[in-house]
Amino acid sequence: MRAPPAFLRGLRPTLHISHRGGALLAPENTLEAFRQAVERFRTDMLELDVHVTRDGEIVVAHDDTLQRCTDGIGQLAALSLSELKRLDAGYGFTPDEGQTFPFRGRGVRIPTLREVLRAFPGLRLNVELKPDVPGQEELLARLLEDEGAVDRVCLGSEQDAVGERLAARLPDACHFYPREALAALVIGMRSGEPPPEDPRYTVLDMPLYFGEVRLVDAQFLRECAERGKWVNVWTVDDAAEMTRLIEEGVGGIMTDRPDLLRQRMDATTKAG
């Protein structure tokens, strides 16, 4: 069995992971959301997504288009970093289904990954590279190497081709399973058949449910641990599910409600 990557050394379940910084509490994938998650809710890890700008800068954003979260329109990759920095990244956030937009006009901007790494030195990040554009993994790898951040980032993509290129470029880093490789592993384990072994990937970032089927339970987690795999579940915003997952020993819980997860984790600790 491959030795665990440095990213996982010393970690113990259950990790508090803020999905996009806590997308139901603040504008997603912004420094404002990330600061709140770290300072108010003591998050163990930030989950975020990255894209590459027209001029080759790596920025933190989920969508490849601008209109859902900002006051811009069109493709993110068509703009330079300076053009993106003029957009209001708090424009689309609403906590009450469109009745109010409390972050509009408050100077919230799309951050670069470099800014996030420097704002939270030492904090672990789960980073998904979104576009399937060969060569972009090289830009991401160079940035992480320049910042000395390879060992505190778990990398990957939903797309298998992107995940494979990242694993090839940074073989000693921590990588999470891309979609098809993850599906093959989970289906094999749950069916009782020998699942495919792939030492490139150590972390399962996976949904809790597939339809009505709950994919993660204590037995599944034990079997993953026996194979040297770590399991993070997304995106869990229900208090009862949080408590159950903590009791089952899940590696990490990704949530848009870092406030609620902190309450559940603190309550579980006190009860224990």
Q: Catalogue the active-site residues.
A: 19, 62
CB atoms within 10 A of CB 194: 8
Element (H, E) at 95: none
Cα–Cα distance for residue pair 137/74, rounded to 1 Å: 23
74, burial (CB in 10 Å: exposed 0-12, middle 13-18, buried 19+): exposed
CB atoms within 10 A of CB 170: 19
DSSP secondary structure of 100-167: --TTTTS---PPBHHHHHHHSTT-EEEEEE----TTHHHHHHHHHHHTT-GGGEEEE-SSHHHHHHHH
Length of the chain, in residues: 272
Strand partners, 64: none
Residues 76, 66: contact at Cβ < 8 Å? Answer: yes
- Residue listed under structure tokens 């699942």: 195
